[in-house]
Each structure stands twice: as C-alpha cells, then as structure tokens.
C-alpha cells in the first residue's frame, strides 16, 4: 500500500508538468485511442505511468510497477484496466488539484499525557502538555476547517506498550534488552508476525479510565469526529492512520477521502511520537500536511529535533498557529 501511495503521489505531482511535449504526446496520441479507461491495455498504461513517474522521485522499480498494475487490473480480464479502481485512483492522486477542503486533527490531548501517568512535563523536555490546550482551542475557534478530528489512545489493560506487561510477549533474539531486564522507557524488540521495536511506557490511556479521557479544558464540538487507536493488545499505534506494524488502519483515511479532504493540519501530543507518525502517514497518503508546532508538546529535545527532520523529509510543512490562515 505505501509503495502504491508514493507512486500515486508522483503521478499527481507530475500532472503539473503535463505541458511537456513528450508527455502531451503520450496523452493525446495514446489515451485518445481509447473511449474508456477500462479499454486501455495494461502495457500502454504501464508505459504512461512510468513516463509520468520518471524524473519525480526516480524511476519506479519493477516491483512498484507490478504492484500498481496488479491493483489496476484486479478484477479485469485480457489485460484491461479495472474501471472502478482507475476512477478511485484518479480521485486519489488528483484531489489536491480539485479540492481545497481541510481537516484539523488534534492528537491525543488526554489526561495521562498532561497530568497523569505519562505527563509530558515530567519527561526530559519538560514540556507541559496543558500549555498546548489553549493554543488548540484558539485554532479551533478562529479557523473554519471542513472536518475536525480528535484522536485518542485507547489501550486494553494487557497492551504491549505497558512495561508491566513486557513478560507477556515474546522477545526477539535481536533485542538488546530482555524482558527481565527491561525498565520503563527502555526499547525492546518483540517477536511475532513482524519484528517490532517497542518503547515500554507506564500504564496510560487505559480504556474507560480517567487518564484516557480528553482533557477537560479542550474545546470539543458536537461535530468533532473521534478516532480511537491502539486498541489491539499486541501492537502499538502511534499514528492516527495505522498501527505501528502496518497491520491495520483506523477509519481516518476513509473519512478524509469521503469528504474530499486535501489539506491536513495536525497538532497535539506528543510531537516526537503520535504527532510525528500521524504527520508522516498523512503525507505519505498524499495529503498536504501541516504540523502546528506551537500547538504540540513533546517528550525529549533530542527526539523532537529528530521528529522535525523526519517530518520535513516526508514533505510535511512545519508552521505556527498564526500561520494557519496563510495555508487554508
């Protein structure tokens, strides 16, 4: 999925340069031969897509080409393109050109991250999560977004991220720290369907607990959409889109696509974990993504700096609350 997503991003970006003589020739001479998308032979489409991708982020690998062609011909016969999938893909890669609808995603402004078991103010950066709340409220009040979404960690009591549960899960042989040696905030490597690193946290945001509730001062509107994540016991879920193993998604992506959202503005807690992962996934899915830095708080200065670089490298724009109007 991620490879296809990045591929479609290249295609969409390339549409800006369709006046190029060679690409213009490809479209007018090749696609005009066919009345319907479903009539385009697979070989022709492969050639067209390869030309569009070339020069954007490098030529596609054969594996990437195979991925996209399998998707586009999934329900077809005789090498014809599946019309419904083609239509969905077209909507996906052109949405920034045909829509300027925006969504605000407020990440995990929950009690445990502010004054509870995992309060940011007690962690190395000493950033108080409560300081982000009035900034977020001002953003929600001042700017009109087409969607406002609130995310919440929603962990079962046996969740793998809890240090007290580390002995319940198999440790991979590559883990530098064994279960019996592990302390809170250590990173272990769990074994299973996929080998995943896991930071061990105190019990936090346990389902139905006070710590899992949104902070009382956070402005919550009746129209806000709530996304719960991290509710599968054996895999953590920093991102509002995916769990950390990329096994499953939340409903967020479908909600954004159904509403034709093209711009995503992200704020909340914590900058270097759930905000970071959500922003990178948002950008990888082709949304124009902005992180409102003064409406975020993080864990450590070192990891915040690393997170900022990762977001910028992924194409995320880092802005302040005063700059939101410039991009809406």
Sort residue 268 into left (φ over 0), alpha (ψ -120 to 50) or beta: left
- 108 catalytic? Reply is yes
Q: What is the largest CA-CA distance in the chain?
A: 67
Of 9, 82, 108, 281, the active-site residue reads 108
Grouping H, G, I as helix, E, B as strand and the rest as coil, residue 199 is strand
- 274 catalytic? Reply is yes
| Rounded-to-integer distance, Cα 36 and Cα 159, Å | 50
Grouping H, G, I as helix, E, B as strand and the rest as coil, residue 275 is helix
| Rounded-to-integer distance, Cα 51 and Cα 69, Å | 15
- 153 catalytic? Reply is no
- Closest by CA to 184, choosing from 165, 163, 169, is 163
**230 contacts 274 by C-beta, under 8 angstroms:** no
Q: Which DSSP symbol is given to 146? A: S
Residues in contact with 144: Cβ distance below 8 Å, sequence separation at least 6, in sequence order: 328
Of 274, 281, 296, 297, the active-site residue reads 274
**184 contacts 202 by C-beta, under 8 angstroms:** yes
Q: Nearest 10 degrees: CA dihedral of 65, 66, 71, 74?
A: 140
What are 186's two structure tokens? 């250590």
What are 184's two structure tokens? 């809170």
Of 229, 243, 272, 297, the active-site residue reads 229
* Residues designated catalytic: 108, 229, 274
């Amino acid at each position: 999925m991620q490879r296809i997503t990045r591929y479609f991003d290249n295609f969409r970006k390339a549409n800006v340069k369709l006046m190029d003589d060679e690409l213009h020739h490809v479209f007018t001479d090749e696609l005009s031969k066919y009345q319907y998308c479903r009539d385009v032979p697979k070989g022709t489409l492969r050639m067209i897509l390869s030309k569009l991708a070339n020069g954007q982020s490098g030529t596609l690998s054969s594996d990437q080409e195979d991925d996209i062609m399998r998707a586009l011909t999934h329900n077809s016969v005789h090498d014809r393109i599946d019309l419904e999938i083609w239509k969905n893909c077209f909507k996906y890669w052109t949405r920034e050109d045909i829509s300027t609808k925006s969504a605000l995603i407020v990440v995990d402004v929950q009690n445990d991250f502010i004054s509870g078991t995992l309060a940011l103010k007690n962690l190395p950066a000493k950033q108080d999560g409560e300081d982000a709340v009035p900034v977020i409220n001002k953003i929600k009040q001042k700017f009109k977004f087409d969607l406002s979404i609130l995310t919440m960690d929603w962990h079962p009591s046996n969740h793998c991220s809890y240090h007290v549960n580390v002995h319940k899960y198999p440790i991979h042989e590559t883990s530098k720290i064994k279960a019996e040696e592990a302390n809170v905030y250590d990173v272990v490597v769990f074994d299973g369907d996929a080998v995943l690193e896991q930071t061990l946290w105190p019990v936090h945001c346990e389902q139905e607990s006070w710590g899992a509730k949104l902070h009382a001062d956070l402005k919550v509107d009746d129209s806000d959409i709530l996304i719960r994540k991290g509710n599968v016991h054996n895999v953590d879920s920093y991102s509002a889109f995916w769990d950390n193993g990329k096994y499953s998604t939340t409903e967020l992506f479908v909600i954004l696509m159904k509403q034709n959202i093209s711009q995503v503005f992200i704020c909340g807690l914590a900058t270097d974990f759930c905000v970071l992962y959500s922003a990178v996934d948002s950008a990888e899915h082709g949304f124009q993504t902005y992180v409102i830095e003064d409406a975020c708080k993080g864990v450590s200065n070192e990891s915040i700096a690393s997170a900022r670089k990762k977001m910028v490298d992924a194409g995320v724009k880092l802005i302040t609350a005063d700059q939101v109007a410039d991009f809406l």
